[in-house]
A and B are shown apart, each in its own frame.
Chain A
Amino acid sequence: MITLKEALTLNPGELDEFKQDLSAKIKASNLGAYIEQHTGEAINTYGSGVPVLIKDNIQVKGWSITSASKILQGYIAPYNATVIEKMTANGLAAFGRANMDQFAMGSSTETSFYGNTLNPHDPTKVPGGSSGGSAAAVAGGIAIAALGSDTGGSIRQPAAFCGCVGLKPTYGRVSRFGLGAYSSSLDQIGPITQTVEDAAILYDILSGHDPKDATSAKLAPDQTAKNLNPDRKLTIAVIENFLDQAGDEIKTATRNAIKALEDAGHTIIYKNFSNVEHHISTYYIIATAEASANLSRYDGVRYGFRKEEGNLKDMYFDTRGEGFGDEVKRRILLGSFVLSSGYYDAYYLKAQKVRHLIKDEYNKVFEEADLILMPVTPTTAFEFNSKSSPIEMYLSDIYTISLNLAGLPGISVPVGKDKAGLPIGMQLVAKAFNEQTLLDGAASAERILSL
């Protein structure tokens, strides 16, 4: 597959031809990465530029945008997300709906209303999630690049499982206007691409202040692609206790990468994070609390699926009872519980305090380092239906969620493969609004490891 950088040089005729080929390829593929592959519809398109696959929770005008849920069946988005407007203005076109975990809740894309997406490296394995369709399509050669959204690792983890590049920008760097909300204080849209340079190109286009998003940082669009410098020598802090907890093959691949980075002239230092066991609970309290309110608007009154028998209360219960999948319901229940009177202080308020401590811990490391390095996932891609409990699934996010809690930018870059040939990713983290350093470090790693 041609890169985004290359595709941007195609003339309109070449681009049309390319898109026709791509549509045919998608049709022939059995990955289930595009929702259109599940529904049998023609690929949704918007605009005439270079095709970029769009996660099904990002609003594209005129498209059915459902967050891969039943409750949004029939809903047609009447407006564009700010990122879509920016893409359209910069020669890119929304092209196809990427499969995902329902409402971005999941780590395997198994909670999608439409069905599974296969890992292009092994059809018995999940592509990761929640942006599983985006990563699988890019890695599987049926998308040049894709948009994902990352609330607790939903860009980086599938990128690692599928062997592509996934960037979660700093919270506030990319407008959330038009992103179907899961957890407002954690969500960010970002690129999933074949190369670090492509990630920089797409990220630059997406970034910049948006008056329609009150949490958007008042910063001009970034210009990382033209300043991308893989020769920059950086101080990189490895979070050793994170690495120690990872599976053996992840550990080995990551240690090899660290060695290569050191050989290339980067300075490596070692740090530990304390109280890591609180990351998961803090994340699930905050994310589900916000989600419980964010998903309340799906009530059957104004749009989407409605089950209407009996009185108003019945309509609410039946619509939401049938419209939401189990994982979504589980998180709404959990979020409603932690916010309820008598429990608020013990859970939500305490989680907010822990969140500050996590941020402080990152800042402390950044006093000595330009970047932080850690694994993306404890294991490589797992099999479908292999997680015996929700908690086990939640634990697979252990390395990714603290970044969202701290609002920091992170990137997942491929560093190798396990014995079974499944990709292994490595995660770099930078200071807030320091995507340039992040991408410089990632470009260096990409070149050194010559992927």
Chain B
Amino acid sequence: MSYGDFEVVIGLEVHAQLNTKTKMFCNCPTSFGDEQNVNTCPVCLALPGALPVPNKEAFTKSIAFGTAIDATVNKTSIFDRKNYFYPDSPKAYQITQMDVPIVEKGHLIIDMEDGSQKRIGITRAHLEEDAGKNIHEGDHSKVDLNRAGTPLLEIVSEPDMRSSDEAIAYLKKLHSIVRYLGIGDANMQEGSFRCDANVSIRPKGDTKLYTRVELKNINSFKFIQKAIELEVERQIDAWEDGVYEKEIFQETRLYDSAKNETRSMRGKEGAADYRYFPEPDIPPVTLDDETLAKYSQIPELPDQKRDRYVNDFGISAYDASVLTAEPELAAFFETLIDHKATPKMAVSWMTVELLGRLNKAGLSIEESPVSALTLSELIVRIEDNTISGKAGKDVLDYLMENSVSVDDAIDKLGLKQISDDGAIIAMIDEIMAANPAQVEQFRAGKETLMGFFVGQVMKASKGSANPGLVNKLLKEKLQG
């Protein structure tokens, strides 16, 4: 993206739900999609006398995250109350971490399309509880508190991004880290990975930060990019029209994907006073060294995995990036390799053939009707010449629709290559007997007739004869 004489400054706040078994401060399950208000208890309903008890699992997952972004994990962190009235906030305050968050001062590296890399600072990541949901129906509203109290890790970046492309690269990297660590589902549609963007512009060369506008309510990477671009355009237009001071002020704007526009949410109303103060129901939480050490042991992250694929398997950096973007893709690929597929075959059969078909069907890798084990069997059958590569595509098509084994599919489609010398020789003998004239012409030197014989054999075998073998045996016989 180019913004002419302007530089764009973007900071992102991501709310990642942690996939703990229970909520942040009570024992209710965190499951999604249940009947309204089923997953609630005195604590998350804010009944009189109920008290919050912090969920240790949320801390261990935060330790893993802090380690992954090379951050400081605070041994002691402190919860605070953020006061505001809203029906989806049953206590009318949110328990969050203000002054001493669990994670501080981290960063991650984003990869740009031109191959360059950039470091994006992460100011902090703190634990807090999610709100419930208000459901508006005609002239009344309902409140569903199933989600109330779900643990959130709010990840706040530095204002280090200079384009919507960088913002998306950062988000995708963050998303992939959360998935790799297995600390959250990070499903944007379901709202378990939500992003607010703070956007401002300034003349190139200027170092001061101008008015930032917060964009909220964006539930896909595509829409985030669009929302940022729209907002940048709005601010640049205002600047160029000489109305920047008047039209651009600190506010929250909502992105409407249907209309592809942003609109003001709270207007010019003064900043809310949340009256933060330390949560008296929860003493400062101190993690012991053992816990810190144990949960700092994290799995291989996407960047490390990508580099390892390039080094160990000799595949391209591009292919390696595709395969490591999501942990499920990498796991699928590694299953192929573990089951004797050669890396080059695994890459092409997975990225081109399988992902192509899944894309068309609108399926994710987790929903693939063809498992990694099945695909590895198919690749092995191609590599051991049981079937041709071309036949392999037909088999894969068949497997996308039918839940059978690879060998059954090959049988069913009659695509097994005949690699048995005897069977092919028998066919050759028959064809030579039926075409004595052509045999004579060939032997007289008309070698172009080779194609005729190959065609006849393939026809006789209904295309299942191993073409290499047919050529070899025909030559021997004809030259006989």
Binding site for B on A (CB under 8 A): 57-59, 65, 67, 72, 75, 77-79, 81, 176-181, 183-185, 211-215, 289-290, 292-293, 296-297, 299, 301-303, 312, 316, 336, 339-341, 344, 348
A296 touches B54 (CB 8 A): no
- With A297-B90, A301-B87 already in contact, the answer to whether A339 and B277 are too (CB < 8 A) is yes
B54 touches A214 (CB 8 A): yes
Q: A-facing mask of B28-64, CB < 8 A → 1, else 0?
A: 0000000000000010011111111110000000000
| Residue from B47, B83, B282 with most neighbouring chain A CB atoms (10 Å) | B47
Distance in angstroms between the alpha carbons of A81 and B47 in the assembled complex? 12
* Docked complex: B271-300 residues within 8 A CB-CB of A: 273, 275-277, 280-283
14 new A-B contacts at CB < 8 Å, known A77-B48, A214-B51, A297-B46: A57-B49, A78-B42, A177-B51, A178-B49, A179-B49, A180-B49, A185-B280, A214-B54, A214-B282, A293-B275, A302-B143, A316-B85, A340-B273, A341-B273
Distance in angstroms between the alpha carbons of A215 and B283 in the assembled complex? 6
In the bound complex, residues from chain A placing their C-beta under 8 Å from that of B15 are none
Query: Is B93 in the interface zone, CB < 8 Å from A?
Result: yes
Interface of A is mostly: loop
In the bound complex, residues from chain A placing their C-beta under 8 Å from that of B90 are 297, 301-302
Distance in angstroms between the alpha carbons of A77 and B283 in the assembled complex? 27
| Residue from B81, B90, B143, B283 with most neighbouring chain A CB atoms (10 Å) | B81
Question: Can you name the residue of chain B whose Cβ is closest to the Cβ of A176?
Answer: B51
In the bound complex, residues from chain A placing their C-beta under 8 Å from that of B53 are 211-214
- With A289-B277, A296-B93, A344-B277 already in contact, the answer to whether A312 and B49 are too (CB < 8 A) is no
Query: Is B469 in the interface zone, CB < 8 Å from A?
Result: no
B91 touches A297 (CB 8 A): yes
In the bound complex, residues from chain A placing their C-beta under 8 Å from that of B277 are 289-290, 293, 339, 344, 348
Binding site for A on B (CB under 8 A): 42, 45-54, 81, 83, 85, 87, 90-93, 141, 143, 273, 275-277, 280-283
A75 touches B51 (CB 8 A): no
B47 touches A336 (CB 8 A): no
Distance in angstroms between the alpha carbons of A292 and B277 in the assembled complex? 11
In the bound complex, residues from chain B placing their C-beta under 8 Å from that of A297 are 46, 48, 90-92
Residue from the list B42, B48, B141, B280 in contact with A184, Cβ < 8 A: B280
In the bound complex, residues from chain A placing their C-beta under 8 Å from that of B93 are 293, 296
A177 touches B54 (CB 8 A): no
A301 touches B143 (CB 8 A): yes
- With A214-B54, A301-B87 already in contact, the answer to whether A340 and B92 are too (CB < 8 A) is no
Residue from the list B45, B46, B51, B81 in contact with A212, Cβ < 8 A: B51
Distance in angstroms between the alpha carbons of A278 and B93 in the assembled complex? 29
Q: Would you list 5 pairs from A and B whose C-beta atoms are within 8 A, ordered by A residue? A: A81-B49, A177-B51, A178-B50, A211-B53, A293-B91
Distance in angstroms between the alpha carbons of A395 and B151 in the assembled complex? 43
Distance in angstroms between the alpha carbons of A278 and B81 in the assembled complex? 26
A214 touches B85 (CB 8 A): no
- With A214-B54, A215-B283, A301-B87 already in contact, the answer to whether A296 and B92 are too (CB < 8 A) is yes
Residue from the list B49, B81, B83, B275 in contact with A177, Cβ < 8 A: B49
Distance in angstroms between the alpha carbons of A75 and B47 in the assembled complex? 10
Distance in angstroms between the alpha carbons of A58 and B46 in the assembled complex? 15
In the bound complex, residues from chain B placing their C-beta under 8 Å from that of A180 are 48-49
Question: Can you name the residue of chain B whose Cβ is closest to the Cβ of A80?
Answer: B49
Distance in angstroms between the alpha carbons of A293 and B93 in the assembled complex? 7
Residue from the list A67, A296, A303, A344 in contact with B85, Cβ < 8 A: A296
Distance in angstroms between the alpha carbons of A78 and B42 in the assembled complex? 8
- With A176-B51, A214-B51, A214-B281 already in contact, the answer to whether A299 and B273 are too (CB < 8 A) is no
| Residue from B48, B85, B281, B282 with most neighbouring chain A CB atoms (10 Å) | B48
A67 touches B48 (CB 8 A): yes
Chain B nearest CB from A406 CB (Å) reads 15
Distance in angstroms between the alpha carbons of A80 and B81 in the assembled complex? 26
Chain A nearest CB from B9 CB (Å) reads 26
Chain A nearest CB from B460 CB (Å) reads 79
Q: Which 9 residue pairs across A and B have the least CB separation, nearest first?
A: A296-B92, A184-B280, A339-B275, A185-B280, A180-B48, A178-B49, A297-B46, A59-B49, A341-B273
In the bound complex, residues from chain B placing their C-beta under 8 Å from that of A211 are 53
Question: Can you name the residue of chain B whose Cβ is closest to the Cβ of A210?
Answer: B51
B49 touches A58 (CB 8 A): yes
In the bound complex, residues from chain B placing their C-beta under 8 Å from that of A65 are 48-49
Chain B nearest CB from A55 CB (Å) reads 12
Distance in angstroms between the alpha carbons of A297 and B48 in the assembled complex? 8
In the bound complex, residues from chain B placing their C-beta under 8 Å from that of A292 are 83, 275
Distance in angstroms between the alpha carbons of A180 and B282 in the assembled complex? 16
Residue from the list B42, B83, B276 in contact with A296, Cβ < 8 A: B83
Question: Can you name the residue of chain A whose Cβ is closest to the Cβ of B272?
Answer: A341
Question: Can you name the residue of chain B whose Cβ is closest to the Cβ of A172?
Answer: B283
In the bound complex, residues from chain A placing their C-beta under 8 Å from that of B81 are 293
Residue from the list B47, B273, B283 in contact with A303, Cβ < 8 A: B47
| Residue from B85, B90, B281 with most neighbouring chain A CB atoms (10 Å) | B281
Distance in angstroms between the alpha carbons of A344 and B83 in the assembled complex? 14
Chain A nearest CB from B143 CB (Å) reads 7
Distance in angstroms between the alpha carbons of A348 and B275 in the assembled complex? 11
In the bound complex, residues from chain A placing their C-beta under 8 Å from that of B45 are 302
Chain B nearest CB from A83 CB (Å) reads 10
Distance in angstroms between the alpha carbons of A289 and B275 in the assembled complex? 9
In the bound complex, residues from chain A placing their C-beta under 8 Å from that of B42 are 78-79
In the bound complex, residues from chain B placing their C-beta under 8 Å from that of A67 are 48
In the bound complex, residues from chain A placing their C-beta under 8 Å from that of B273 are 340-341
In the bound complex, residues from chain B placing their C-beta under 8 Å from that of A79 are 42, 47
Chain A nearest CB from B175 CB (Å) reads 32
Question: Can you name the residue of chain B whose Cβ is closest to the Cβ of A75?
Answer: B48
B283 touches A336 (CB 8 A): no
A215 touches B48 (CB 8 A): no
- With A78-B47, A79-B47, A339-B275 already in contact, the answer to whether A290 and B92 are too (CB < 8 A) is no
A299 touches B85 (CB 8 A): yes
Chain A nearest CB from B280 CB (Å) reads 4
